[in-house]
Amino acid sequence: MHPNWRSLGLVFLGGTLGTALREALGLLLPAGLAAGAPVPLTTVGINLLGALLLGLLLEALMRRGRDAGGRRDLRLLLGTGLLGGFTTYSALATDSALLLRDGAIGMALAYALGTVLLGGLATWLGIVVGAALHRRASARGENG
């Protein structure tokens, strides 16, 4: 198979799963936690969790070796596909624009900037955890 078609297939598969997960959470959660909240809390949770996991995944893969073969496949399936499709930017932008349209300027700013800032922290935390897990795994490898 042509490598481009293989990459597109892996990302399609991961993106389908990621979107299904985001959609399922959106269907299950609004009745409880997110109901009545001034900002879409489900989207916030999805984006922060996805940012953390992508930081962890990419750091762990990078520390295991160069981006080729099985590692590249995993990055495309789980990173670009699953977590890329699970998280979303268009909903963040559109919900912020809707808040602005309703005159809730402070809430729009808090939602948009808060998500980006906390997302950066979550990513950084994921990278730190990914690096620590790798160090522990390689220490175990040397001792055993």
Partner 1 sequence: MTPLLFLGIAAAGGVGAAARLALDGLVRTRLGGAFPYGTTIINVSGSLLLGLVTGLALNHLLAPEWSLVLGIGLLGGYTTFSTASFETVRLAQAHRYLAALANGVGMLVASVVAAALGLWAGLALG
Binding residues for Na(+): 84, 87
DSSP state for residue 32 in the 8-state scheme? T
Structure tokens of 62?
């990078």
Rg, Å, the chain Cα set: 18
3-state secondary structure of 126: helix
Q: Which residues contact 82 (CB under 8 A, 6 or more apart)?
A: 14, 15, 17, 18, 21
User: Binder to partner 1 among 67, 124, 137, 139 (CB under 8 A)?
Assistant: 124
Residues 18-57 contacting partner 1, CB under 8 A: 18-20, 22-23, 26-27, 47, 50-51, 53-55
100 vs 133, beta carbon nearer partner 1? 100
Q: Is 43 exposed, middle or buried (0-12, 13-18, 19+ CB in 10 A)?
A: buried
User: Binder to partner 1 among 58, 60, 61, 75 (CB under 8 A)?
Assistant: 58
113 vs 139, beta carbon nearer partner 1? 113
Q: Does 115 bind partner 1 (CB under 8 A)?
A: yes
Give the integer Cα–Cα distance in Å for 117 and 37: 20
Q: How far is the CB of 14 from partner 1 (least distance, A)?
A: 7
Residues in the site for partner 1, rule: CB under 8 A? 7-8, 11-20, 22-23, 26-27, 47, 50-51, 53-55, 58, 76, 79-81, 83-94, 96-98, 100-101, 108, 112-113, 115-116, 119-120, 122-124, 127
